[in-house]
Chains A and B, each alone.
Chain A
Amino acid sequence: MSKLISNMAGSVWKIVVKQGDKVEKGQDLVILESMKMEISLAAESSGVVKEIKVNEGDFVNEGDVLVELE
């Protein structure tokens, strides 16, 4: 199982996958927004989206788990 972890403080702008999706390594899962900039966060390994821990618009801190893959 792998986790997608936020690399900065900001809000969740877009979640581009849903639970059960099969994703490839390097595929964008979540787009964060901070200081008027959007940063895409990509899967570090291939897998299936097990759980999405956040909603669009949520505020997250650096280190927060956003998505769990298995």
Chain B
Amino acid sequence: MFKKILIANRGEIALRIMRTCKLMGINTVAIYSEADKDSPHVKKADQAFLVGGARVNESYLNIDKIIEIAKETGSEAVHPGYGLLSENPVFAKKCEEAGITFIGPSPEVISRMGSKIESRKAMEEVGVPVVPGITYPLSNADEAVKIASSMGYPVMLKASAGGGGIGMQIAHDSEELQKAFAGNQKRATDFFGDGAMYVEKYIENPRHVEIQIFADKSGNTIYLWERECSIQRRHQKVVEEAPSVILDEETRSKMGAAAIKAAKSIGYSNAGTIEFLVDSNKNFYFLEMNTRLQVEHPVTEEITGIDLVEQQIRIAADEVLKYTQSDIKRDGHSIEVRIYAEDPKTFFPSPGKITKLSLPKGSEVRHELAIEEQSVVTPFYDPMIGKLIVKGKNREEAIIHLKNALSEYEIEGIKTNIPMLREVISHQAFKDGDTTTNFVSKYLQNK
């Protein structure tokens, strides 16, 4: 087992990874930007090093500097967390070349799954259902219109390198598609350095259901059930739960089998998530694969009792999975909400200083926090400042726990989405399980 791991991330996920490292007796090395020098993740690590300026490209994306720190501190492995460098094949490759274990799949797999077009192609080849659409880049807007009219509107226009909702737009007719093409292509080029665009059929009222998989380096592959993450704003998840309210056992095991087939066919190792859209007839379609730990991994930990970060580290250290599929239990219901520093109505960012922080307590409540009282939330990074996770015997009980916890949750000094989360949880449609990806626009914004 490793003696020392460098955590190439910040915020709640850096702290989350450190917690498991401590339990495993592994020393931790943190990196931080100038803006994060007083952050909790810097204080909690065994060692911490300044990596650069506030902007991510000067600090958390500074591959060469991070590898240099890993080498100087004698770190044997790097955990990339999520976001930032977690799905960057160049970083994974450079770690490998420096003799440092990258906790994740191989650079080749990261690179292949990082392209939405390539990953669609890979899934089609092994017979995993994908959203109907094309698997090659469009040359221009006219070609997009030609393909869309043969598929039928509405369609989703997407950037192959896209993520976080950037570079994607729904189009209901040729005029909308024409208009959307140039803008989204430009944004994809600006953000990801890759303007490859494609179109797929728009699935009406879909749910977002994803399967958590684990594969060791010998190819043993299992799935840890699903998470439903349908409630989103700006194409980013807000509420996540496990199990999904829509799946029956038959669909669940079909999706699990498809996820395992997908992972095996590309030679996957470590933790990964296969995202699917599920339509109202319970047809499921591959959306994309995330080759890293997910933000919402705690709900899976709550229902399976398995520490996902520990498994990631063990697999990276060449251990063989000690679980087989029949060992994976499913107990109770867990819901996670993401706490964002933003206006609860407009979703505009709200950086600033936290003057008061008072958290709900209790055995049914789990916190993953990036902040503490007096922390300054800067404008340089993602607005997520924490996650609140609850567990109940069943969904009904989990909702009650969450409602109580949110009513006690107090943050002052900045605006947060907590009022919006309270609205979601209290809504009859949420209780009824009518959780489709348009929940926010359907039930909260059109009132």
Contacts and interface: CB of A to CB of B under 8 A. Distances in A.
Which bracket fits the contact residues of A? 10 to 19
B383 interface: yes
Contacts of B164: 36
A35 interface: yes
A35 B380 CA distance: 5
Contacts of A9: 351-352, 379
A44 to B, nearest CB: 17
A37 interface: yes
Tell which of B347, B352, B380 has the most Cβ of chain A within 10 Å: B380
Contacts of A10: 349, 351, 379
Interface of A: 7-11, 34-37, 39
Given A35-B379, A36-B164, A36-B382, 16 more contacts: A7-B348, A8-B349, A9-B351, A10-B351, A10-B379, A11-B379, A34-B351, A34-B379, A35-B349, A35-B380, A35-B383, A36-B381, A36-B383, A37-B347, A37-B348, A39-B348
A34 B351 CA distance: 9
Interface in B380-416: 380-383
Contacts of B350: 8
B7 interface: no
B61 to A, nearest CB: 13
Nearest to A7: B348
A35 B416 CA distance: 13
B4 to A, nearest CB: 31
Nearest to B54: A59
A41 B348 CA distance: 12
12 contacts: A8-B379, A9-B352, A10-B351, A10-B379, A11-B379, A34-B351, A35-B381, A35-B382, A36-B381, A36-B382, A36-B383, A39-B348
Contacts of B382: 35-36
Nearest to A13: B190
B341 interface: yes
Interface in B341-386: 341-342, 347-352, 379-383
Tell which of A8, A9, A35 has the most Cβ of chain B within 10 Å: A35
